Amino acid sequence: MTVGVVYSPVFLEHDTGEHPESPLRLEAVVQKLQETGLWDNLVHVAPPPASVDDLLRVHTGRHVDYIRCLSEVGGGRVDAETIVSSRSYDVALFAAGGVKRGLEAVVNGDLVSAFALVRPPGHHATRDGAMGFCLFNNIAVAAAYALDTLKIGRVLILDFDVHHGNGTQDIFAREPRVSYISVHQSPLYPGSGAIHERGAGNIFNIPLPPFSGDDEYARVYDEIVVPVASRLKPEIILVSAGFDGHWRESLASMSLTIKGYADIMRRINALAKASCGGRIVIALEGGYDLAALSGGIRAVFDVLLGNADAPDPLGPSRENDNAPDIDPLLMRLKESFDLT
């Protein structure tokens, strides 16, 4: 099982000040992987910077220039929560390049799977704009490279960040070679991700009510995500991985546990083995509670490496008795996605 990790300390140089999306996130993740010994069982891949041409496959020149200029003048705010520092443009190139490099290594057979531990995150970045802590859409840069240069014909992007990846949807809504399946909390930022947003028939949004937890996610994967994904026959699976659906997360209100993240990842791994030789490339998106983030990422690596589940150090929430009834939602999704 050749599992890669894409990481560089350069990702700590995107300086957001007092902010949930801070360098402390990756420091906590690396520390957790080192202290559990997983770090030494992974193939380490150094991220190269993406080129401007890589970015221009999915972004407008105006957007790329804007982020570059903002960095050059010392930084500033793109919106209330999205910050650019003097190093952010360069670091964002490494983040996009890191996911692209992970994908390249998986496609050429050096790795079976790769997890790019990058920041800034990417899935809210649209073709023409930064938002929601995201500057460039890292996973979209990799997907577009797969289509254009590696001649992959069908890419599937699964997104389990608790927020809808509006940017990824925006970029690929008219690109039928890329399918996008997102499971996210609704209502929640950024407000998009309704079931009826179908793009060219390649967008599959699964908006879950607040307080959905391990059981609801397991049902959604078994009854909707896996059947839809299998039908799409992807040649590679890219994953936008956010760990902000955990019950400890303050920016959302779901009830997932670390064990729940392992369950999700096991389903994705089985799906990849059945459909595309196990080829998975994961890009880190959100997750702001440091214990939930680092524990969730550890669980993902355990699944990829075929290790037995480690105990969940955080356990379930003590207030998890308000799980929603998702039967009506599942019925609506099956009708919308022709699964009946």
Catalytic, out of 124, 163, 164, 246: 124
- Catalog residues that contact Zn ion under the rule CB under 5 A: 161, 163, 242, 244, 286
Minimum distance of Zn ion from residue 166's CB (angstroms): 11
Q: Whose Cβ is closer to Zn ion: residue 71's or residue 186's?
A: 186
Minimum distance of Zn ion from residue 48's CB (angstroms): 26
Residue 156, strand partner residues: 179, 237
Q: Is 14 an active-site residue?
A: no
Minimum distance of Zn ion from residue 172's CB (angstroms): 18
Q: Whose Cβ is closer to Zn ion: residue 95's or residue 107's?
A: 95
Minimum distance of Zn ion from residue 133's CB (angstroms): 8
Q: Which residues are catalytic?
A: 124
